[in-house]
Structure 1
Amino acid sequence: MQLYPIKFKPIPKETIWGGNKLVSVLSKDFPSNKKIGESWEISGVKNDISLVSNGELKGESLNDLIHQFGGRLLGKEVSERFGKEFPLLIKFIDADDALSIQVHPDDELAKKRHNSFGKTEMWYVLDAEKDANLIVGFNQEIDPKRYQQKLSEGKLEEILNLEKVQNGSCYFIPAGRVHAIGKGILLAEIQQTSDITYRMYDWNRVDKEGKSRELHTELALDAIDYSMEENYATKYVSEINKTTELVQCDYFTTNQLIFDKNKRCNYSNLDSFVIYICLDGEFEISCKGKEKTSVKKGESILIPAELKELTLIPLGKAECLEVYI
């Protein structure tokens, strides 16, 4: 069977801090009366496996595809490295309220404690309300003792780095870096396949039953990177009809594409699948011998590794993120 650009049915996640922008801004077919905080676009996380929504493979799961097609889908090197597990989780996140202050373990700690991958991730802001901000890292050099003192005093915010953001702001969040998404932000998140989060502080809030969410104070201590960076934001300059690299790490590479002319893509030197996350506008994907596939704002699509040459055809002007291993 010949593979083709594959779309998946988004998986909605109701959260205490979610809003309605996944529906109102990204046109997701989710219940508008619920607080939907996340749309899992492409997921291989246990119990949340994405299902194909287009073409001959419609209804099959991402895991089914990996077992059927292996390296044809993932790329030979990716398949050898990750086996039958899809290595990335692609999300849109709508923070109508602030998320908890949290940290994720690295591969070594996650393997030891949870038999899981760690969680390195990145954020790309699609929409930010006036004065919206993120927490990323520390604003001073600290050590575990000082961190615990501030936490116990209820003054954790004093040592955290606050970043005012706008549309297009980009942040790389390696495992171990303390972080939180602030109120009024809609963003795309690319991360390792992992759902392990250590919640450090949750603003003393409770759910509709009056219960506070579990904190992972002790687990977080060994996971935190206590160092400070001078600059946390990813600096880049966008150029229309050119590829702009945002993040390159061991787990993924993410580029920004803004184009109003046909863009030819040749992945002959890449041994990996490619994901496009459409941030604005609409474009079509043309592959030799296959029907064109349309991708609209708020949609994500997986390009199997065996498809090496394709053309992106913008309908007006389009913007997307290009992700691969």
Structure 2
Amino acid sequence: MRAYPIKFKPILKEKIWGGEKLSQFMNKNSDSKHIGESWEISGVQDNISIVSNGLYKGKSLNDLIKLFKGDFLGEGNISAFGENFPLLIKFLDAKTNLSVQVHPDDTMAKEHHNSYGKTEMWYIMENEKDAEIVLGLKNNKISTEVLDNINASNVNSIFNVEKVKQGDCYFIPAGKVHAIGAGILVAEIQQTSDITYRVYDWDRKDDKGEQRELHTDMAKKATKKFSTNGKSNYKIKKDKPINLVDCEFFTTSIFKLKGLHKRDYSKVDSFVVFMCVEGVAEITVNNNTEFIFKGETILIPANSKDVIFNSQGAKMLEVFIEPKDAESKKLAS
């Protein structure tokens, strides 16, 4: 495979809670006033990403996996996931609150949906004053049975709510109830899954005057209790990746670029994804250079070695996978 910095066409999703920041400030081409998500790299069925640049322009993500296998994904990822792209990379714009929701783990998702579960993380790119997120139950003494009867008068006594600021990062394992609040722009990394169980939707109605469906019974089965809020404590350093999340599904670091910087990925048995969360940078692989702007994503194939960065000031999320248990991740055929 001829490696170069690969871009994909964003897949834009209208949401009842979405806004205009993705189109106005992050170059996502849409006239809609309710774009909630930009799926940057997706292997979700019926939402397969298409290459938008270079030698492989027009080919799908699945085409690249079938053609180049380990050279593209990494041999360990081929062993673990077969020809399934294991991550879903997104940007989200929450103009209003997302529903309070929970996602199943791999075991539950495989049993009920023949799918992967959904463990994810958020990096807060922007936030309006006093913006909040929901993270877990208020305390571990609360029974999941309370999910049967949530309303505007008791919601604040059931869920843990935290104020956020730019640069905050949260790890959200499958089973943790959560919601992004109004006025927050997020970079999200997650397992390849689109399974969501809603438990509360703020009593709002859609444009037909109907409330969205809740999935309370499944949510009660999926919900787990956690001892921490999952917030990453880190201090950013120039040109040095600082780990944010390291779990069995993905490893994510952040680094600040200033000037010329070269990194050797020859010992990383995985594709590497870069999400630009601030500024602009050049990324060069095998003498092929692409600009990456805030709100854009680039994938570097696994057979790449040196990656050269050049920027007057940018922040990047670096994402790759180190498979730990190949057999447990394979879906039923």
TM-score of the superposed pair, with normalisation by structure 1: 0.95
Alignment of 1:121-160 (within 5 A): 121-144=120-143, 146-148=145-147, 151=150, 155-160=154-159
Quote the sequence identity (%): 50
Preserved CA contact (<8 Å) 1:137 1:229: no
Task: Quickly say closer, same or farther: Cα 1:74–1:149, change in 2 above 3 A.
Answer: closer
The aligned runs of 1:184-223 (5 Å cut-off) are 184-223=183-222
Q: Distance in 2 between matches of 1:70 and 1:154?
A: 53
The structural deviation recorded for 1:149 is 6.3
The 8 Å contact of residues 278 and 295 in structure 1, kept in 2 or not, is answered as: yes
Instruction: Give, in whole Å, the separation in 1 of the partners of 2:91 and 2:279.
Output: 16
1:304 to 291, 301, 305: 301
Cα displacement (A) at 1:138? 1.8
Kindly report the root-mean-square deviation, in angstroms, between the aligned alpha carbons of the 2 structures. Answer: 1.5
Counterparts of 1:291 and 1:251, CA distance in 2? 29
Mapped partners of 2:144, 2:261: distance in 1: 53
CA distance in 2 between counterparts of 1:280 and 1:148 reads 38
Q: Would the aligned equivalents of 2:101 and 2:198 in 1 still touch at CA under 8 Å?
A: yes
Q: CA deviation at 1:228?
A: 4.1
Contact 2:252–2:319, Cα closer than 8 Å, also in 1:
yes
Contact 1:144 1:221 in 2 (8 A): no
Specify the SS of the correspondent of 1:260: strand
One-letter code aligned to 1:191: Q
The answer to whether the Cα contact below 8 Å between 2:176 and 2:226 also exists between their aligned partners in 1 is no
Q: 1:324 Cα deviation (Å)?
A: 0.2
Q: How many residues in Structure 1 have an aligned counterpart in Structure 2? A: 321
Q: CA deviation at 1:144?
A: 3.4
* Cα displacement string for residues 145-198 of structure 1 (whole angstroms, at most 9, x for unaligned residues): 652465379623312111100110110000000000000000100000000000
Normalized against structure 2, the TM-score is what?
Answer: 0.93
Alignment of 1:235-254 (within 5 A): 235-254=233-252
Per-residue displacement from partner, 1:123-150 (whole Å, max 9, x unpaired)? Answer: 0000000000000112212353652465
Residue 281 of structure 2: aligned partner: 283
Point out where structure 1 has 5 or more consecutive residues left out of the alignment.
Answer: none
Q: Is the CA contact 2:124–2:167 (under 8 Å) kept in the aligned structure 1? A: yes
Given that residues 70 and 84 in structure 1 are in contact (C-alpha distance below 8 angstroms), is that contact kept between their aligned partners in structure 2? yes
Tell me the distance in 2 between the aligned counterparts of 1:23 and 1:152.
Answer: 33
**Aligned residue type for 2:294:** K
Asked if the contact 2:5/2:284 (under 8 Å) is kept, the reply is: no
Are residues 152 and 146 of structure 1, via their aligned partners in 2, closer, same or farther at CA, if it must alter by over 3 Å?
Answer: farther
Q: Given the superposition, is the C-alpha separation of residues 293 and 220 from structure 1 closer, same or farther in structure 2, using an over 3 Å criterion? A: same
1:313 to 310, 320, 332: 310
Letter of the 1:169 counterpart:
D
1:273 Cα offset (Å):
0.3
Paired residues of 1:104 and 1:175 also in contact (CA < 8 A):
yes
| Structure 1 Cα separation of the partners of residues 84 and 266 of structure 2 | 23
Judge conservation of contact 1:147–1:156 (CA < 8 Å) in 2: no
Query: 2:6 matched to 1:9?
Result: no
- Tell me the residue number matched to 2:20: 20
Give the letter for the 2:95 counterpart.
Answer: D
Decide whether aligned partners of structure 1 residues 200 and 210 sit closer, same or farther in structure 2, where only a CA change above 3 A counts. Answer: same
Matched, 1:50 2:49: yes
